[in-house]
Structure 1
Amino acid sequence: MSPWEIILIVLLSVIIVLLVLGVIVYDRFKELMRKQRVGFVLQDEFAGEAPIVFLGDSLTDFYPTGEFYSPYNVANRGIACDTTADVQARLDEVIALRPSHVFLQIGINDLIREGKKLTAEILCERVFKIVDALVAEGIEVTLLSLYPVRRKKYFIVSPAVLNHADNGRVNAANELLAKKAAAAGMEFCNVHAELTDGTGELKKEFTLEGLHLTLPAYRQITRYLLPYVKRAEQTRRDNLCQISEADN
């Protein structure tokens, strides 16, 4: 066997091992996320009455909403790796919280996993299926734009993490989401614009590897969203007061 054949066999073996490990790690991670979903049931007991809910994937899950919105009754219901289908599947659990308001940010994992076969139109339909289900329960919804990503070369892991998700596809989805939100008369927060650099990419200091966000990014998001959260909290309190007065 020649040295080149040995090298090739070793490389193929390493690739196979890495792929197997990747599958194992992913399955383990999904199991942890399933347990997190179960854990939400325990947290619901302490969520307060008619909470404001942040709902989404890892970009919501890793958002320290408890600290950034500490004066307000906010519950974080983000789960890492979630797609629109995953959120749809656990929507009954969110509705069971009887939230007064939901801030929804979801969709990037759909783009990452399904690649270019997923159109902006289909993604928009999936997001609004969630929106419609919440609105049907009398819950106010504020829809957040998808956040930008960063595919610069010096983020070595970015292509692997982002797969087919790029800012062109993110922007196309955001444009449709904004139009549909306007047609429905609902709030759409273009947080995307708060996070981009001069080239339309996610700012370097705002990301860990091109997708997930740093604390400075979440601080910027909070500064943008705070007026919306304050208004939602005031509405929540006013409604609770009206209910209390009606009961008396």
Structure 2
Amino acid sequence: MKPLLNRVLVTNILFIFIFTAASAQVVKWDSTYRPAKYVELVAKFKADPKSKKDIIFLGNSITAGADWAKLLDLPQAKNRGISGDITFGVLDRLQDVIEGKPAKIFILIGINDISRDIPDSVILRNYKTMTARIRKGSKKTKIYFNTLLPVNTAFEKFKKHYGKDEHILWLNDEIRKFEAKNVIVIDLYPNFIDQNKHLKAELTKDGLHLLPAGYQIWADFLKKSGYLTER
């Protein structure tokens, strides 16, 4: 019996060692992170008059970087982008958007989650929670979900955002499936990639954020596709 017990003991110790080593390699992530100006901007958004004709652009710095009303010639377009925001931050401030019962909500969020090592499955879950809450709280609001934009490592500025293309591609594939769930998918990604599937250098200032030329491509795509005028 002793050899058998010894083998069992060794097997158990080996399992514990492997399990402990694997656990130690699990990347930690934080759902509570909020950008420095988050509270200030959320208060500003809450104070802003709301209308059922509003067209909300919801997201992070990539959304925040444009004057959507001017760019699209739509006075009812409202910018609800917060630089550095993650999907958890959007969920925390989503109720204020829902209560305004806007005509449309355009969502682009997730690249900062990726940079902070939030698991893809959690990001996807948050996407689905957003759409479900909007659908429940403002039934007439049209939901438009953008695929994530590519990045460009050549700029070497936002290194935590680079080298994670597989996460962008996986999430974009999942976002494209939203079409079957009464959500309109805006596939931005193909409009911004170069031959190496990186963000086109001429459209970005740092490999992550867009230059005016990039926003113009985005705006032209929205106009051409009829997303802004459909009811």
**TM superposition score normalised by structure 1:** 0.73
Aligned match for 1:90, one of 93, 106, 114: 93
Q: Per residue, is there more helix in 1 or in 2?
A: 1
Which is worse superposed, 198-207 or 64-73? 64-73
1:140 aligns with 2:135: no
How big is the alpha-carbon RMSD for the aligned residues of Structure 1 and Structure 2? 2.0
The 2-side partners of 1:112 and 1:158 are apart by 9
The 1-side partners of 2:81 and 2:61 are apart by 6
Aligned to 2:80, the other structure's residue is in SS state strand
The Cα of 1:106 is off from its aligned counterpart by 0.9
2:64 paired residue number: 61
The 2-side partners of 1:129 and 1:228 are apart by 26
The 1-side partners of 2:74 and 2:182 are apart by 28
1:34 paired residue number: 39
The 2-side partners of 1:56 and 1:30 are apart by 13
The 1-side partners of 2:82 and 2:226 are apart by 22
Which is worse superposed, 54-63 or 31-40? 31-40
Identify unmatched segments of 5+ residues in structure 1. 1-26, 236-248
1:78 aligns with 2:81: yes
Aligned to 1:30, the other structure's residue is in SS state coil
How many residue pairs align between the two structures? 196
The residue correspondences of 1:196-211 to structure 2 (distance < 5 A) are 196-211=193-208
Residue identity in the other structure for 1:170? I
| Contact in 2 for aligned 1:149/1:166 (Cα 8 Å) | no
Aligned-pair identity in percent equals 22
The 2-side partners of 1:104 and 1:171 are apart by 17
The 2-side partners of 1:81 and 1:210 are apart by 15
CA deviation map 1:162-185 (0-9, x unaligned): 25x622221111001112x12213
The Cα of 1:49 is off from its aligned counterpart by 3.7
Residue identity in the other structure for 2:218? I
1:231 paired residue number: 229
The 2-side partners of 1:101 and 1:39 are apart by 20
**TM superposition score normalised by structure 2:** 0.78
Q: 4+ residue runs of structure 1 moved beyond 4 angstroms?
A: none
Aligned to 1:141, the other structure's residue is in SS state strand
